[in-house]
Amino acid sequence: MIIITDTREKPNKRFTFESYADDGIRVIFSKLDIGDYSLQGKENIVCVEKKESIEEIIRNLTDKDDSDRFARELEKMKGIKNSYIVTCFSFDDLLMGTKHSKITPNYIISLLLEIQSKYNVKIMFGGRRAEFLTYKILKKHWDLENGIVRWKK
Cα separation, 45 vs 10, in Å, equals 24
pTM of the model: 0.93
pLDDT at 92 over 90: yes
What is the average per-residue pLDDT within 121-144? 96
Share of the chain above pLDDT 90, in %: 84
Q: What is the pLDDT of residues 73-84, one digit of tens each?
A: 999 999 999 999
Burial class (CB in 10 A: 0-12, 13-18, 19+), 24: exposed
Q: Are 17 and 3 in contact (CB under 8 A)?
A: yes
Domain 2-145 of CATH type 3.40.50.10130: yes
More confident: 51 or 102: 51
Task: For Cα atoms 60, 62, 64, give the angle at the middle one, nearest 5 degrees.
Answer: 90
Q: What is the pLDDT of residues 12-25, one digit of tens each?
A: 999 999 998 888 89
Residue 129's nearest CA partner among 9, 15, 11 is: 15
Residue-wise burial string across 34-65, b where 16 or more C-beta atoms lie within 10 A, e elsewhere: bbbbbbeebbebbbbbbbeebebbbbbbbeee
The ranges assigned to domains in the chain are 2-145
Strand-by-strand arrangement of the 26-30 sheet: 26-30, 2-6, 37-39, 46-51, 82-87, 121-125
